[in-house]
Amino acid sequence: MKFFQKLDDFLDFGWAQICRGKFDKKSPARHPTFVTSSHDGIPNARTLVMRRSDRKNNQIEFHTDTASSKMLDLKRNPRAGIHIWLPKVKLQIQMDVVIEIKVGDTIIPIWKNVPTNSRVAYGTIPNPGSVIESPFAYDHAPDHKRFAVLICHIESIQLLLLGVEHIRANYKKTNNWKGEWLSP
């Protein structure tokens, strides 16, 4: 079991786990929960695949269909919450992020790197979440115009480690990631 006395070491550990999301398909950090707010204030949570993490620039990245309901939420309110629970190391990671949406020609190089069989996720007909007559009454029409890259600019990271003694800390970009211990 990990033991941390220093805020910086604890944040390093948190980032090491976040980065595993991209490179380790078995890590739970591969599938964070991504939470948006709908126009009526109701939270919407769903699982997304972590596509990229970048500690230097405080970013993580997801890909989605431009016609999905999360896009509507994000256009109204670009703030989102990210949640990851890593049972093996007993670490919960929560992040507040502001989303930059990228679509169109500038992301064609990223689209070209999406494996052909994965492209079906971007272009379902009718739009994701539409009511349909039967379970398979939908079609796939992969289309780069339906592909969106969600760059998450991280504003804060909160870590909770369930060791013999629980420890919890919060780190804010506005505080230059200095961090402060919190009562668990």
Ligand X SMILES: Cc1cc2nc3c(=O)[nH]c(=O)nc-3n(C[C@H](O)[C@H](O)[C@H](O)COP(=O)(O)O)c2cc1C
Residues making contact with ligand X (CB under 6 A): 31, 44, 46-49, 62-65, 68-70, 128-129
Nearer to ligand X, 4 or 73 (CB): 73
User: 36 or 161: whose CB is closer to ligand X?
Assistant: 36
User: Closest CB to ligand X among 6 and 26?
Assistant: 26
Q: Label the pairing between strands 166-172 and 180-182.
A: antiparallel
Least separation in angstroms between CB 50 and ligand X: 8
Q: Which long-range contacts (CB under 8 A, 24 or more apart) does 5-13 make?
A: 7/169, 7/171, 7/178, 7/179, 7/180, 7/181, 8/179, 10/159, 10/161, 10/167, 10/169, 10/179, 11/157, 11/159, 11/169, 11/171, 11/177, 11/179, 13/91, 13/159
Q: How far is the CB of 154 from ligand X (least distance, A)?
A: 18
Cα-flanking dihedrals φ and ψ of residue 119, to 5°? -70, -20
- Using only C-alpha atoms, the chain has a radius of gyration, in whole angstroms, of 18
Separation CA 97–CA 26 (nearest Å): 24
Question: Nearest approach, Cβ of 65 to ligand X (angstroms)?
Answer: 6
Smallest distance from ligand X to CB 33, Å: 9
Q: Measured from the CB atom, is 75 or 178 closer to ligand X?
A: 75
Name the residue nearer to ligand X (CB basis): 11 or 80.
80
Q: How far is the CB of 113 from ligand X (least distance, A)?
A: 14
